[in-house]
Structure 1
Amino acid sequence: MKKKWDMRIPPILVAPIFFMAIMLSICKTSAQECPALMSPADGSTLVSVDATITWESVTGVPGYIISLGTTPGGNDILNERNVGTATSFTPTTGLPENTEIFVTITLFFFNQPNIVCDSQRFTTAALTGVPQCTTLTLPVNEATDINTATNISWMAAPSATGYFISIGTTLLGNEILKDTDIGNSLNYNPPTDLPAESEIYVTIIPYNRIGMAVGCTTLMFTTAQQAILPLCTTMLSPMNGETNVPLSPTLEWNAAPNATGYRVSIGTSPFETNILENAIFFKTSTVVIDFEPNRTFFISIIPFNAAGEAIGCTQETFSTLLGCGPYYDPLSGELLVLNPEITFPDIVSICLDNEISVVTATDEADGYRWYKLDANGNETLLSTTAQVTIDEEGAYVYEAYVNIEESGRTFECASSKTFEAKISQAPEIKDIKVQLSASSLNYEVITGINGNYEYAIDNKDGPYQDSNRFTDQSLTDHIIYVRDKDGCGTTSSMVEQDLTVSGFPKFFTPNGDGINDFWQFIPPNETEEYKVSKIFIFDKFGAFLAQISPNKDGWNGSLNGRPLPESNYWFKAIATNNKTIIGYFSLKR
């Protein structure tokens, strides 16, 4: 895994302050900045009335607000429900049938304008039958010792548009409440307490325009002795909807009359308790360590006593401090981050000829960290400076960070990347193959080892090319340069073209008169410079014709027994000291 700064853990993370130079009121934004509906897709028809609405996740957006209506931008079905980081929402009581539904997603930001996206739409299908029956969620069927002040709640029945409820003290009875239409609601709060220590029978019948559900079962629970439940409480700190909350805040709430304790749940969406789930406190405050920055948190506090829990308590929200970003800048329309930009390469080379290979950071930052990764992805810290010594191939992590200070407090914003270290070394020229053409030379450079090399001719400073071939070069001496791209050295070799060297005849006359019928090298002396091992002969277009040895008769001017015409011909001779000699001669008849 890549080494990243975990902003939820380090104790040095404190409240950064991010001021916007000018706050603009933004009502709409271009479509490409907003998420597209995934299900139902924009423009869909025949959508189920109990559909779950999902949309794309937008990078850098800390939360979403959803509204549903029957007009563009409308909220007559659902008014600005904050769902945190969730990218889906299921309307609790379903959607109206055969209706064009407009979905408005708002991108929620901290201390800056939200982005209200253009509405997208779909059309629901018409109902085709009566709804199904439902079941109790509070109290559950056959529950006992239920407080007499309880509310009654049930699950939504797909395609229901309303519910009839009857409550009695006998099976199928309605002594407490008789066949009451409570509309499209999923709970009922009796105006007076239920009788104590009694069996309570509840019948709930969902309905829609086609008719009422059929065969619904009467549900039952038993009440406890008369007792007084505590009332609900509200947050004191942070207040409901408060933003810029410190990452390690003290949560404090009002004391609820008759409460002996409180059950606290916290989540990152209205539907989750992934931070704290039903934690019990016997006081009205608690300290939470290291909330994540840039997040909205949803908190529920339920007072309780021996009689039971408070009923109908609502969820509250607060949002934490801005961290390193990204932040939406309303002036530029861009997302901004405080993390340093990383320009470090994906691959660095270790020069084999160097005893120590030092790698240097490429980015401006307040500090750096270098890690070695093993085969299992475990990290070993190597350096906390701008340089690190690397002596073996493998995977590494480079991290650069900046310190953000505000009111004497400091927090880090870091960026990191994984890179690979590879061994490289200075090139070695093994051979330079020379090919003749009519009036120029072609070279092919052969290196002794494979490497990440580039090539230049006649100038050590380049220009360099990736190809190891040079074509159409002049008939003069040339120097070939080979350079390691990773900075591990440059080597060179000269290719000499001596067109006037003695020992090679300028012409010959293969006419069968016994005089100068063969073309052959005649060394002027026996020095090392003039010891030739082999000679190649080409026509003026560079086509190979023959290979001769210096201790034989030489070339008779024919190819496959057929005399060749008068013309100029090329030769290439290889000396025993690896010197290459290239020249030309004339065949006369």
Structure 2
Amino acid sequence: MKNKWDLRIPKILVAPMFFMAMLLGIFKSTAQECPALINPANGTTLVPVDATISWEAVVGVPGYIISLGTTEGGNDILNEKNVGSAKSYTPPTGLPENTEIFITITLFFFNQPNIICDSQSFVTAALSEAPNCSSSISPSNNAIDINSSTNISWNAAPSATGYFISLGTTENGDEILASTDVENTLSYNPPADLPAETDIYVTVIPYNRIGLADSCSSSVFTTAAAAVLPLCTSMISPFDGETNVPLSPTLEWNAVPNAIGYRVSIGTSPFNKDILEDAIFYKTSTLIINFEPNRTFFITIYPFNEAGEAIGCTQETFSTLLGCGPYFDPESGELLVLNPELNFPDSVSICIGNDLDVITATDEADGYRWYKLDDNGNETLLSTTAEVSIDEEGEYLYEAYINIEDSGRTFECSSSKIFRVEISQKPDIDDVKVQIGANSVNYDVITAINGNYDYAIDNEDGPYQDSNRFTNISLQNHTIYVRDKDGCGIVERLVELDLTVNGFPNFFTPNGDGINDYWQFIPPVGTDKNNVSVIYIFDKFGALLAQVAPNTDGWNGNLNGRALPESNYWFKAIATNNKIIKGHFSLKR
């Protein structure tokens, strides 16, 4: 994909894009009018249940989304049907009788939030007679070579609220399917394949609360020899309902294992095929098609093989973006874009205690916008410069745009992304827990809060580690450093090793390494070593092992020249004031 700054667009492309962008910009800046119902008009009564609903066109609106319900704003009849730029809609199975019907029209946009208009309503008439028969049944009457996997469909009968269907091998027969109420639907998919090379008679009888349609005749078709039809496929790119689709995409769909090809139709409304009409493709993608900006397109794909084509495949939709590309360049074979490429990070940290946390855009552009997003996704504009001041965590929207000029006028091509702001702060060491081993110690560093920190020992420059635990540290004093990964600061603490309780060591390690090889009274700072006159050492059975004077190196862990085993030993010290001090310690090797 070419760099946005190298793009040169022929005026034949820029002019209509500019016109559309200007038109939408003007429309956005003025008060928006919602369309009034034309037929039936708002407040109309006695409306036929098979009425077509139409409304006024609104200048500058690229599409409409329709909902129908029995309450204001409701959608229990129809839920947000995208009808493209069409100005009318006919409910395929009609409307309920003697009911107030609320229609909600949503104005669909590409460069601003959709506008949901107030509901308008009308009241349908009560039914006065039973429905007529359906005018058409598919497969059509006397059709031949119909795949045995076919489904059955029929036209809606005005005023019908449901349908009975039966299937048989003779006129009015029902040995394949006894008369079955399929309610207010217009198709039936037999649970098993129909018998091959057989005449199949279909009888569809509409009904309503008045009664059944009278004298509905059977329709007949003949099935082909047994064969397996392909299943339907679905879009991969763009996916169904996707918006902001590039203007020159290659359309792709899922492969169907037993399909040999695909029949593709594309239109600008659900009811036409003005872009592609039944085009045949033998792979799972189209050639590149240049679509108009700011339009909704409707695509239907039918896989086929020697047995026929898939049955009942549904229509899917996608919508193109503003006229900023991507465009397909036939000369280079590349897609060209005008929108800035964003390198802004997914998350940013701010430090507690800073009076002003300034975040700066990372991307080259002509302009910028920053928004705060609330829990419902609503936007609050914070800044229109390359910098924004933020003092609370949450989700934000970053937008960068470039200005495109044509014929002395300007419009924007923008890119945006949502990012999260996290709160961080300078660390605070609450405690360093020390675990003393034979010849080493372990540290567990405890901070006041669980921040995004890393840890180092004896060197502020590191190396740093993610773990707050240091193991196998030498028996001496050390300095611990805790650093906030987001740059909010570093703190340190000196950990002084205290191996004694009131001067009597908790353990010693007489292993000949020259470190802690003797157990001896170590007077606390500010006290006199001569406060203790003699120390007696005992084993766990009370046997005297050694007598230690305070002016010697201390006990080496031997008895009569023999090294005693690792264990706990007891001492009794006699102070110069005749006070007796008792305790125990560990011998570790």
Q: Residue 521 of structure 1 corresponds to which residue in structure 2?
A: none
Describe the superposition over 1:516-537 as per-residue Cα deviations: whole angstroms up to 9, x where unpaired: xxxxxxxxxxxxxxxxxxxxxx
| Contact 1:67/1:79 (<8 A) preserved | yes
Task: Write the distance in 2 (CA, Å) between the matches of 1:16 and 1:230.
Answer: 45
Structure 2 alignment gaps of length 5 or more: 1-8, 22-29, 326-377, 381-402, 416-589
Task: Write the distance in 2 (CA, Å) between the matches of 1:8 and 1:276.
Answer: 26
Amino acid at match of 2:33: E
Task: Write the distance in 2 (CA, Å) between the matches of 1:92 and 1:7.
Answer: 44
Q: How far 1:186 moved relative to its partner?
A: 0.2
Describe the superposition over 1:139-159 as per-residue Cα deviations: whole angstroms up to 9, x where unpaired: 111111000000000000000
Q: Residue 156 of structure 2 corresponds to which residue in structure 1?
A: 156
Amino acid at match of 1:68: L
| Contact 1:16/1:405 (<8 A) preserved | no
Task: Write the distance in 1 (CA, Å) between the matches of 2:10 and 2:195.
Answer: 53
SS of residue matched to 2:83: strand
Flag the 1:87–1:240 CA change in 2: closer, same or farther, 3 A. Answer: same
Q: How far 1:402 moved relative to its partner?
A: 4.5
Describe the superposition over 1:486-513 as per-residue Cα deviations: whole angstroms up to 9, x where unpaired: xxxxxxxxxxxxxxxxxxxxxxxxxxxx
Q: How far 1:403 moved relative to its partner?
A: 7.3
> What is the number of equivalent residue pairs in this alignment?
326
Matched, 1:242 2:237: no
Matched, 1:222 2:225: no
| Contact 1:7/1:292 (<8 A) preserved | no
Task: Write the distance in 1 (CA, Å) between the matches of 2:55 and 2:18.
Answer: 32
Q: How far 1:312 moved relative to its partner?
A: 1.6
Task: Write the distance in 2 (CA, Å) between the matches of 1:12 and 1:142.
Answer: 54
| Contact 1:248/1:287 (<8 A) preserved | no
Task: Write the distance in 2 (CA, Å) between the matches of 1:287 and 1:8.
Answer: 24
Q: Residue 258 of structure 1 corresponds to which residue in structure 2?
A: 258
Q: Residue 63 of structure 2 corresponds to which residue in structure 1?
A: 63
In angstroms, what is the RMSD of aligned CA positions?
3.2
Describe the superposition over 1:237-269 as per-residue Cα deviations: whole angstroms up to 9, x where unpaired: 111111111111101111112101100011111
Flag the 1:226–1:207 CA change in 2: closer, same or farther, 3 A. Answer: same
Q: How far 1:100 moved relative to its partner?
A: 0.5
Amino acid at match of 2:195: P
Describe the superposition over 1:213-249 as per-residue Cα deviations: whole angstroms up to 9, x where unpaired: 1111110000000000001111111111111111111
Bigger relative contact order, structure 1 or 2, given CA contacts below 8 A and separation 6+?
1
Q: Residue 294 of structure 2 corresponds to which residue in structure 1?
A: 294
Task: Write the distance in 1 (CA, Å) between the matches of 2:176 and 2:206.
Answer: 19
SS of residue matched to 1:10: helix
Q: Residue 201 of structure 1 corresponds to which residue in structure 2?
A: 201
* Within-5 A mapping of 1:333-412: 366=405, 368=407, 402=410
Q: How far 1:365 moved relative to its partner?
A: 9.7
Q: Residue 181 of structure 1 corresponds to which residue in structure 2?
A: 181
Q: Residue 94 of structure 2 corresponds to which residue in structure 1?
A: 94
Q: How far 1:273 moved relative to its partner?
A: 1.1
Task: Write the distance in 2 (CA, Å) between the matches of 1:406 and 1:117.
Answer: 27
Matched, 1:74 2:74: yes
TM-score using structure 2 length: 0.52
Q: Residue 13 of structure 2 corresponds to which residue in structure 1?
A: 10
Flag the 1:196–1:321 CA change in 2: closer, same or farther, 3 A. Answer: same
Task: Write the distance in 1 (CA, Å) between the matches of 2:164 and 2:301.
Answer: 31
Flag the 1:14–1:86 CA change in 2: closer, same or farther, 3 A. Answer: closer
Flag the 1:406–1:8 CA change in 2: closer, same or farther, 3 A. Answer: same
Task: Write the distance in 2 (CA, Å) between the matches of 1:180 and 1:320.
Answer: 44
| Contact 1:204/1:218 (<8 A) preserved | yes
Flag the 1:262–1:243 CA change in 2: closer, same or farther, 3 A. Answer: same
Q: How far 1:9 moved relative to its partner?
A: 6.6
Q: Residue 464 of structure 2 corresponds to which residue in structure 1?
A: none
Q: Residue 140 of structure 1 corresponds to which residue in structure 2?
A: 140
Task: Write the distance in 1 (CA, Å) between the matches of 2:171 and 2:144.
Answer: 16
TM-score using structure 1 length: 0.52
SS of residue matched to 1:33: coil
| Contact 2:69/2:75 (<8 A) preserved | yes
Flag the 1:7–1:221 CA change in 2: closer, same or farther, 3 A. Answer: farther
Flag the 1:55–1:173 CA change in 2: closer, same or farther, 3 A. Answer: same
Describe the superposition over 1:152-207 as per-residue Cα deviations: whole angstroms up to 9, x where unpaired: 00000000000010100111110111111110000000000000000000000001
Describe the superposition over 1:448-495 as per-residue Cα deviations: whole angstroms up to 9, x where unpaired: xxxxxxxxxxxxxxxxxxxxxxxxxxxxxxxxxxxxxxxxxxxxxxxx
Describe the superposition over 1:530-557 as per-residue Cα deviations: whole angstroms up to 9, x where unpaired: xxxxxxxxxxxxxxxxxxxxxxxxxxxx
Task: Write the distance in 2 (CA, Å) between the matches of 1:366 and 1:8.
Answer: 11
Flag the 1:275–1:200 CA change in 2: closer, same or farther, 3 A. Answer: same
SS of residue matched to 1:184: coil
Q: Residue 232 of structure 1 corresponds to which residue in structure 2?
A: 232
Task: Write the distance in 2 (CA, Å) between the matches of 1:9 and 1:366.
Answer: 14
SS of residue matched to 2:251: strand
Flag the 1:367–1:230 CA change in 2: closer, same or farther, 3 A. Answer: closer
Task: Write the distance in 1 (CA, Å) between the matches of 2:216 and 2:188.
Answer: 18
Task: Write the distance in 2 (CA, Å) between the matches of 1:31 and 1:118.
Answer: 15
SS of residue matched to 1:284: coil
Matched, 1:119 2:119: yes
| Contact 1:252/1:284 (<8 A) preserved | yes
SS of residue matched to 2:262: strand
Q: How far 1:275 moved relative to its partner?
A: 1.1
Q: Give identity over the alignment, percent.
A: 69
Matched, 1:36 2:36: yes
Q: How far 1:271 moved relative to its partner?
A: 1.4
Q: How far 1:300 moved relative to its partner?
A: 0.5
| Contact 1:99/1:124 (<8 A) preserved | yes
Q: Residue 171 of structure 2 corresponds to which residue in structure 1?
A: 171
Q: How far 1:10 moved relative to its partner?
A: 3.4
Amino acid at match of 2:13: P
Task: Write the distance in 1 (CA, Å) between the matches of 2:121 and 2:413.
Answer: 46
| Contact 1:31/1:117 (<8 A) preserved | no
Task: Write the distance in 1 (CA, Å) between the matches of 2:311 and 2:11.
Answer: 34
Task: Write the distance in 2 (CA, Å) between the matches of 1:7 and 1:93.
Answer: 48
